[in-house]
Amino acid sequence: MERLDTPVNLEAEGAHPKQLHGTALSTPVHFAGLTGLRALAAMGVMVTHLELYRRRGARPSLYDLAFLSEAIGALGKHCVHFFFVLSGFLITYLLLFEKQSKGKIAIWQFYCRRMLRIWPVYYLILAAGFFLFPFLVQHVDILNNGSYYSTLFRNFTASGDYTATVLFFFMLPNIALLVRPPVAIASQSWSVGVEEQFYLLWPHLISRVKTSWLPWTMIAIVAVMNLLSSTARQLLAPPSKVFIVRFLEGFRVDLMAVGGFFAVLYFHQNVSLLRTIRWRAAPAVAAVSCFLVLAFSFDSKSRNLISSLAFSLVILLAAERKLGKAGVLLENTPLSYLGKLSYGIYMYHPMVMFLSYSTLDACGALELGWPFYIAASYAATFSGTILISHLSYQYFERKFLLFKNRISPAPSCS
């Protein structure tokens, strides 16, 4: 691989990462534009879920418009895929920096940092989804309204089957959703489970594989995952085929490996990569690629490959501050703060959405017309989710983040 002599380092005090070669490990690694991208991705997932909720309730939805149906469905899926690519990029970059700065990766400290960032909100949502809301639906009339979520809660209580509860508890929500029905207000955590499973492997890989072999290792991971998916589709028979294919479709380690591949090249300042992201037309290429992925339907494998490459280019352009006015917008204070809340936004919004729609239905908002109802549902869900995410971050999550920084002051982009 082509390299410059000086590896890219971290950003601190507003400086670009490349300007700080040799900075101490205790200084946080931070790419300002990526925080804003996280906010946009989280809100994209919210839009898809809001439209899907209305569709499931036989209410008018953007899914009903032929020219938007494909894009609305793809929006949420690809925003989650963007999170996977971004996680692969950031975690790989952080591990490479730690390995270079300290000569090794403190793997147990890495696990502690991830647990303190992810687990508090994750298990809070599990408590709400498996215990609090099933109780509330039984005892609060406006929540026991026959909606899709309400029905899921009632069915869960009536079934007495706690297999999903156990699998969610052990960070296997993606497996739980393959063998049991969806869990209202907690099903979105399947992607969190996939990332936690990814974290089990990744620090060992970065620590033990020679740097020169890392890009090829990540290419191999992408190839193997796609080969496994193709083989399962062609050779297996139901029901094992359905289970394995669906598992592989959700276990997107290949997307995280794509992000990791570009993190390795960017960390070592690969000349060809730098020329690409400093090319004047690169932002336009990234924008057109993202539009094509969202707007047009084509082979899913090709689509996932194109989307992961497009997202990687956007991430690199944001890290390199080559997005022009869009980059300035991504780094502004409101959007940057929403990026800090993005994990909470992603995890809390189904709960707020259920409460918002239930309240609007109980108040007779439908009688005021569909435009008002749709606008009110968006306003209530977005404002309520941001408020709860803010309160959670300030008064719940930050306690764990401060503790994380005390026990393991390594760089973090979370």
Return the pLDDT at 38: 94
- Global pTM? 0.90
90, 312 Cβ separation under 8 angstroms: no
Return the pLDDT at 3: 38
CA 210 to chain centre: 28
Mean residue pLDDT across the chain: 87
Under-70 pLDDT residues of the chain: 1-29, 297-301, 407-414
Return the pLDDT at 5: 34
Q: How far is CA 310 from CA 161, 292, 294, in A?
A: 42, 10, 11
- On the 0-12 / 13-18 / 19+ scale of CB atoms within 10 A, 227 is exposed
Return the pLDDT at 101: 87
Give tens-digit pLDDT for 93-142.
999 999 998 889 999 999 999 999 999 999 999 999 999 999 999 999 99
Q: Is 300 left (phi over 0), alpha (psi -120 to 50) or beta?
A: alpha
CB-facing half-sphere around the CA of 307: CA atoms within 13 A:
29
